[in-house]
Structure 1
Amino acid sequence: MAAPSGDKLEDAAQSAGNPPVAGRSVAMIGNRLDSRELFATEREIVIAHGEENYRLRLTSQNKLILTK
């Protein structure tokens, strides 16, 4: 039996079907960040919030959809 990794962000990425990737930083100015930085390499990101995972997707019409 494998030991749990303890890394919730890595676990969230793997549960979304994405291979583990190296971490990256996103610049924030005050309480604001630019979505172009979030979606620079992918059209979907996983947000770990407590015990829940949410998916934030960028649509073909450049809209954002957040799902649980």
Structure 2
Amino acid sequence: MTDSHRPPLERPTDDANCAPPRYTSEQLFGGMRHVVIVHGTREYSLRLTATNKLILTA
């Protein structure tokens, strides 16, 4: 399994009473500073800034 396709840190055992899955930024970015999230027909850019902040844009 590659770094960019790691499972979430926590897996729910009972969907009705569990918190959502959690990912580290390292898991999401996989060593990169920019990822694209596809939601329906839209694409969103998630960027990691030079000051280590996250910026999500449509």
For 2:27 and 2:43, the matched residues in 1 are separated by 20
How far residue 41 of structure 1 moved from its aligned partner, in angstroms, is 2.5
Match of 1:36 among 19, 26, 43: 26
- Give the count of matched residue pairs: 45
| 4+ residue runs over 2 A deviation | none
Q: CA RMSD in A?
A: 1.3
TM-score w.r.t. length of structure 1: 0.59
Match of 2:38 among 39, 42, 48: 48
Amino acid aligned to 1:63: K
Please list every run of 5 or more consecutive structure 1 residues that lacks an aligned counterpart in the other structure. Answer: 1-23
TM-score w.r.t. length of structure 2: 0.68
